[in-house]
Every structure is written in structure tokens, then in C-alpha cells.
């Protein structure tokens, strides 16, 4: 059995790809990792996965730790980093892919979708379907900039139609089915809306469960719209109306962008993996 530590030191190539994601509890990140792994399987590269727990200070420690292994690349979720993390990523010279989001200018390469445009598409789609009294149920944006971008995009679409959200219910913690259910209950108690736009599918499934429990008819009494296109949404009694993001594809494209390309592109490279409105039956 060879010793790759010695091999890497001698050849100055570690064949390691460092990956930093905020969580594995939100199923979108395991899906991205799955895409990464499927592309890496046939290569002689190996991913080293680190979890930041949505903590940018901890992310800094993780990035420093990964860089000390001289990886071929760092794949990191999002654009939100501490100044020190950004500086390290910028100056280390290794390839850097910022994943999920293409709404900012990347250090090297971004692979993902425009969450702003997805939010806009959501608003536009629901207006076309005749909804006018919009509610929003979300989770804490400080750890999830992309949810904020979608909200902003949706507001823009509503604004173009001369309307705006009439009610909000925002959970303090992260997105979850439990938070979606609780905040839907709060929103329904406080205001009358036709349709609720959720920060993501987990929250929206919570909304569906609230309606099933309390006998609110979907979509006649309340329409529900999510984001992500998770498997669970398709299996609900009525398929969840949502926007599909292509998480597996993001992982694949991130690897394609760096494999066999040791040098950064001259100008930042942006790879759009797109999204798609899934009409479903809840809105």
C-alpha cells in the first residue's frame, strides 16, 4: 500500500479537492456533494468535505485547514465569507469554485443559478395564475443570503404588477418543516392571503402539513409555492408547486470547471445551471 502523503509531497500534487458546505441537514448540500462525487469517482482525485454549520468564523478555520493540505481546488458554497477567508481564497492560487449562486462576481468561478431571477419567476408565475394577495413564510436570512435574493426577486415581480406582500411570517431559526408549519399557522391567524410564497420546500411542506391538519383546502383556500423541487414535494397528496434547482448538476459542473485545469480563468467564469418552474398542484 503506497503512502500518498509522501507521494503528494514529492510530486507537489495532493489530488485533493476541498469542499466546504454550511450543513448536511439541508438535503440540497448532500445532493451537490453527490454530483461532485459522481464526477470525482472516475478521476484520481478525492474530496475532503468540511461543514461550517453556517458559521463564517468556523468556515475560515476550515478553509485555512484545507489549504494547508495543498488541494487542487476549493469548492465552497456561496459568496458570504469573512474578509480573511476571501483573502486566503484569492491569494492561495488554487482553483476556487463558489457554488449555488451566480448573483455576485466570483473570485475564480461560480456555478449555480440566479436566485434573484428564480424569485422573480416565482412572482411572475403566480401573478399570471391570478393570485393577488401574497403572503411570505420564511426563515432566518442572515445565514441564507440566497433566500433573501429570491424574496427580493419576487418583490420586484410583484412590484411590476403594482402589488406587494400583504403579510410575512419569518422563523428565527433555519428552514425546517416544523418552522414552516408554525409560521404558516401564525400567518393564517393574522391575515387573509390567497397564496403563500415559502423560502424553500422544507418550509412549504410544513405549510402543507398545517393545511392538512386544520382542513384548509389547497389551493382553493390557500395556495402554496416552494423552492428547490425536493423529492418529498412530488409525493405529497398534491404535488408541491415549486421552482426546481439542479443541485446534482451544480456539483458536476463545479468539478468539470476545475478538473484538468490548474490555472484560473483570466476573467471570472460564471456557469449557470438554470432553474425551472414546476407547476404542481398546490398553487
Partner DNA sequence: CTGAAAGCGCTTACAG
- In this structure, the number of other CB atoms found within 10 A of the CB of residue 175 comes to 27
Cell 471570472 locates to: 268
Which of these segments, 93-101, 132-140, 160-168, 205-213, binds its own copies (CB under 8 A)? 205-213
Which of these segments, 11-19, 95-103, 150-158, 212-220, binds DNA (CB under 7 A)? 11-19
Q: Considering the rule CB under 8 A, would residue 47 count as an interface residue with its own copies?
A: yes
The rounded distance, in Å, linking the Cα atoms of 243 and 125 is 10
CB 245 within 8 A of CB 122: no
SS3 275: strand
Which of these segments, 78-86, 172-180, 190-198, 275-283, binds its own copies (CB under 8 A)? 172-180
By beta-carbon proximity to its own copies, the closer residue of 135 and 174 is: 174
- In the DSSP assignment, the letter for residue 173 is S
By beta-carbon proximity to its own copies, the closer residue of 170 and 232 is: 232
Q: Considering the rule CB under 8 A, would residue 56 count as an interface residue with its own copies?
A: no
- CA neighbor of 72 nearest in space, from 257, 240, 204: 257
Our measurement of the distance from residue 241's CA atom to the centroid of its chain's CA atoms, rounded to an integer in Å, reads 17
Judged by CB under 7 A, the number of residues near DNA is 9
**Residue 65 binds what, of its own copies, DNA, none (CB under 5 to 8 Å, by partner type)?**
its own copies
CB 95 within 8 A of CB 262: yes
Closest approach of DNA to the CB of residue 94, in Å: 14
Where does this chain bind DNA (CB under 7 A)? 2-3, 6-7, 9-13
Amino acid at each position: 500500500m503506497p503512502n500518498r502523503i509522501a507521494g503528494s509531497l514529492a510530486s507537489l500534487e495532493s489530488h485533493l479537492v476541498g469542499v466546504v458546505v454550511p450543513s448536511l441537514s439541508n438535503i440540497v448540500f448532500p445532493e451537490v456533494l453527490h454530483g461532485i462525487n459522481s464526477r470525482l469517482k472516475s478521476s484520481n482525485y478525492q474530496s475532503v468535505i468540511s461543514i461550517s454549520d453556517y458559521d463564517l468564523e468556523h468556515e475560515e478555520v476550515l478553509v485555512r485547514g484545507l489549504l494547508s493540505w495543498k488541494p487542487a481546488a476549493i469548492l465552497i458554497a456561496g459568496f458570504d465569507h469573512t474578509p480573511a477567508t476571501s483573502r486566503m481564497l484569492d491569494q492561495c492560487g488554487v482553483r476556487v469554485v463558489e457554488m449555488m449562486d451566480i448573483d455576485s462576481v466570483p473570485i475564480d468561478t461560480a456555478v449555480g443559478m440566479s436566485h434573484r431571477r428564480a424569485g422573480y419567476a416565482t412572482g411572475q408565475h403566480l401573478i399570471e395564475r391570478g393570485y393577488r394577495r401574497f403572503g411570505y413564510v420564511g426563515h432566518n436570512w442572515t445565514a441564507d443570503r440566497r433566500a433573501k435574493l429570491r424574496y427580493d426577486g419576487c418583490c420586484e415581480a410583484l412590484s411590476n404588477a403594482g402589488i406587494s406582500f400583504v403579510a410575512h411570517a419569518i422563523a428565527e431559526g433555519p428552514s425546517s418543516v416544523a418552522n414552516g408549519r408554525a409560521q404558516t399557522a401564525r400567518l393564517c391567524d393574522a391575515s387573509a392571503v390567497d397564496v403563500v410564497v415559502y423560502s424553500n420546500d422544507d418550509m412549504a411542506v410544513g405549510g402543507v402539513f398545517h393545511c392538512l391538519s386544520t382542513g384548509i383546502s389547497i389551493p382553493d383556500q390557500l395556495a402554496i409555492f416552494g423552492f428547490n423541487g425536493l423529492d418529498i414535494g412530488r409525493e405529497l397528496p398534491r404535488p408541491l408547486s415549486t421552482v426546481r434547482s439542479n443541485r446534482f448538476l451544480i456539483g458536476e459542473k463545479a468539478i468539470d470547471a476545475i478538473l484538468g485545469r490548474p490555472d484560473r480563468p483570466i476573467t471570472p467564469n460564471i456557469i449557470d445551471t438554470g432553474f425551472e418552474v414546476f407547476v404542481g398542484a398546490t398553487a
